Amino acid sequence: MIARETQSVKPNLKARLHHRILILGGGTAGLTVAARLRRRGEPDVAILEPSKTHYYQPAWTLVGAGAYAAGATVRNEEPLIPRGVKWIQDYAEEVDPDRQIVTTRAGDEIGYDFLVVAPGIQLDFDKVAGLSETLGKNGVSSNYRFDLAPKTWEFMQKLRGGVALFTAPSTPVKCGGAPQKIMYLTADYARRHGFAKGLEVIFGSAGTTIFAVPEIKAVLDKVIERYGIHTQFNQELVAVDGVKKEATFELTANHPTVKAAPDAPKPRITIPFDFLHVSPPQSAPNFIKQSPLADPSTPLGWVQVDKHSLQHVRYPNVFSLGDASSLPTSKTGAAVRKQAPVLVENLLGAMNGKAPSAQYDGYTSCPLVTAYGKMFLAEFLYDNKWHPTVPLINTQKERYDMWLLKKYGLPLMYWDLMLKGLA
Ligand SMILES: Cc1cc2nc3c(=O)[nH]c(=O)nc-3n(C[C@H](O)[C@H](O)[C@H](O)COP(=O)(O)OP(=O)(O)OC[C@H]3O[C@@H](n4cnc5c(N)ncnc54)[C@H](O)[C@@H]3O)c2cc1C
């Protein structure tokens, strides 16, 4: 048995329920960490997770393009919980890291010695006026929700021309490539069905560029040129009128017009559409935002951890990874795969009173689907440093074998290896 006390962390004896390690969220990150902790012999691990189902979200892009069955992206949560790990089926409602207690929606108090925070990201559809009312209707959809991805495909098939509009918000989003992948698939769909000439494809983004990594941007610029897509940067979607089929954007501080007159009210522009795919604003779940774990420097409320050790900057017995964390990299499952072993190593070290020894370098990757049957893999580290890792092949090229990887290889790897702590 390993020595379990650290100088900085006292065992919590007051709460009714208590676990040595409590994991908030049994999604990609929570399950992967739990599996790895069990493989390292940790006997007392619990996951607090409300959902009976677990989703393989990366395939929702393909679901939205009719290239993957929605049902194949969902499985029951129960068999995915690693053997020997306790599943508490409830929501975390409040975290008190000073008392080392999490309060659940049902009113239970769960004490912990060490906490792993992985409740994912919150989709803030309500931040865009009129959007929630029209989602799934009037040609408005979003691949960011399981129930809506099939609607994207339904609307895409009804398109015969006009304007197809795709948006990206100013907040970080899960899978930075997702807002644009569905755009390329729609443009390819139009080409294959003979109406590309009558379809105007517009990317309305609050970002400043199509991709921040220059080597990846270079490939995407050519894809955009090939399809004749109109990119409009520095504009944030603020309202949608589904009945009139109009989307309203506000120009951001980076827009040349606003830069020229920073004190004037920000101009708005309205774009009529036939089909609208929205990537909503995103933030940490509200219970994190309202807790002492949140990064006070941003209203988005990410769990404030050291970007290399994944340990909380104020509470040494708290760690975080995945979409809810403050890690300044693109939020993906691929990033979680690299974060999980680092977190587990440093957590086990902390349980033995050691300083963190493992370091996360910001690795993330995004399979950029650019057409039916074409994909290239964007891999990079912190500071947008391009970092291709696949040996022998040129991953900067759009390739059919990479499409097969996205459609068949990565889901297999996810379900059978990653969630079991084996990859
Ligand atoms: C359209 C789309 C395309 C994507 N494409 C890719 C891709 O190609 N490649 C890639 O690597 N990644 C992709 N991703 C991103 C990837 O799915 C996420 O980055 C990854 O799932 C993050 O893992 P996570 O555990 O942080 O969050 P999640 O997997 O979302 O899990 C969070 C868990 O926390 C639970 N939870 C929520 N609130 C609470 C609460 N109050 N208390 C307790 N539990 C709670 C949820 O039920 C959920 O199970 C994509 C995502 C989307 C939506």
pLDDT, tens only, 321-343: 999 999 999 999 999 999 999 99
Closest ligand 1 atom, CA of 325? 26
Per cent of the chain over pLDDT 70 is: 96
**Which residue puts its alpha carbon closest to atom 15 of ligand 1?**
332
Phi (first) and psi of residue 40, to 5 degrees: -90, 5
Here the tokens at position 28 are 């990609």
Residue 79: partners with Cβ closer than 8 Å, 6 or more residues away: none
- Inform me whether the pLDDT recorded for 105 exceeds 90: yes
- For residue 318, the CA-to-ligand 1 centroid distance in Å is 20
Mean pLDDT of all residues in the chain? 95
Burial of 162 (0-12, 13-18, 19+ CB in 10 A): middle
Mean pLDDT of 398-421: 96
User: How far apart are the C-alpha atoms of 402 and 140, rounded to whole Å?
Assistant: 30
Residue 26: partners with Cβ closer than 8 Å, 6 or more residues away: 34, 47, 48, 49, 51, 54, 77, 80, 81, 87
Output DSSP code: residue 174: B
Residue 7: the pLDDT is 39
Quick check: is 175 catalytic? yes
**pLDDT tens sequence across 365-380:** 999 999 999 999 999 9
Mean pLDDT of 38-49: 98
- Inform me whether the pLDDT recorded for 4 exceeds 70: no
**Which residue puts its alpha carbon closest to atom 6 of ligand 1?**
58
Per cent of the chain over pLDDT 90 is: 93
- For residue 83, the CA-to-ligand 1 centroid distance in Å is 22
Residue 15: pLDDT band with limits 50, 70, 90:
low
Q: Are 45 and 137 in contact (CB under 8 A)?
A: no
What's the angle, vertex CA 155, arms to CA 168 and CA 323, rounded to 5? 35
Mean pLDDT of 135-161: 98
- Inform me whether the pLDDT recorded for 361 exceeds 90: yes
**pLDDT tens sequence across 224-255:** 999 999 999 999 999 999 999 999 999 999 99
Instruction: Specify the length of the chain in residues.
Output: 423
Residue 10: pLDDT band with limits 50, 70, 90:
low
Is the backbone of residue 86 left (phi > 0), alpha (psi -120 to 50) or beta?
A: beta
Q: Which domains does the chain have, with CATH numbers?
A: 17-121+284-362 (3.50.50.60), 123-282 (3.50.50.60)
Q: Which residue has the higher pLDDT, 384 or 2?
A: 384
Residue 6: the pLDDT is 38
Closest ligand 1 atom, CA of 337? 11
- For residue 380, the CA-to-ligand 1 centroid distance in Å is 20
User: How far apart are the C-alpha atoms of 329 and 384, rounded to whole Å?
Assistant: 8
Mutate to test the pocket of ligand 1, among 28, 89, 117 (most ligand atoms within 8 A of CB): 28
- Inform me whether the pLDDT recorded for 8 exceeds 60: no
Helix (H) or strand (E) holding 115: strand 109-117
From 110, 117, 156, 175, the catalytic residue: 175
**Which residue puts its alpha carbon closest to atom 38 of ligand 1?**
119
Phi (first) and psi of residue 388, to 5 degrees: -70, 135
Residue 16: the pLDDT is 77
Residue 315: the pLDDT is 98
Q: 10 Å Cβ neighbour count for 338?
A: 18
Mutate to test the pocket of ligand 1, among 31, 78, 175 (most ligand atoms within 8 A of CB): 175
Q: DSSP letter string over 301-370? A: --B-B-TTT-BBSS-TTEEE-GGGB--SS-B-HHHHHHHHHHHHHHHHHHHTTPPP-------EEEEEEE
Quick check: is 292 catalytic? no
User: How far apart are the C-alpha atoms of 326 and 320, rounded to whole Å?
Assistant: 8
Residue type, position 140, single letter: V
User: How far apart are the C-alpha atoms of 268 and 165, rounded to whole Å?
Assistant: 16
Here the tokens at position 44 are 């007392």
Q: Of 249-263, 277-291, 404-418, where does mean pLDDT reach its minimum?
A: 249-263
Torsion of the alpha carbons at 413, 419, 420 and 423, rounded to the nearest 10: 50
Q: Return the residue matching tokens 């390292």.
A: 40
Q: What share of the chain is helix, strand, coil (3-state, %, to 5)?
A: 30, 25, 40
In a 3-state reduction of DSSP, which class is residue 418? helix
- Inform me whether the pLDDT recorded for 1 exceeds 70: no
- Nearest CA-CA partner of 8 in 118, 117, 113: 113
- For residue 120, the CA-to-ligand 1 centroid distance in Å is 5
Q: DSSP letter string over 267-283? A: PEEEEE-SEEE----EE
Phi (first) and psi of residue 60, to 5 degrees: -65, -25
User: How far apart are the C-alpha atoms of 93 and 100, rounded to whole Å?
Assistant: 14
Residue 11: the pLDDT is 52
Q: Which residues line ligand 1 (CB under 6 A)?
A: 24-30, 48-51, 57-58, 60-61, 91-92, 118-120, 143-144, 174-175, 178, 285, 287, 322-324, 331-334, 336, 366-367
β-bridge partners, 109: 103
User: How far apart are the C-alpha atoms of 92 and 103, rounded to whole Å?
Assistant: 6
- For residue 381, the CA-to-ligand 1 centroid distance in Å is 20
Q: Return the residue matching tokens 């048995």.
A: 1
Residue 396: the pLDDT is 86
- For residue 149, the CA-to-ligand 1 centroid distance in Å is 15
Residue 391: pLDDT band with limits 50, 70, 90:
confident
Residue 404: partners with Cβ closer than 8 Å, 6 or more residues away: none
How, if at all, do strands 162-168 and 199-205 pair? Answer: parallel
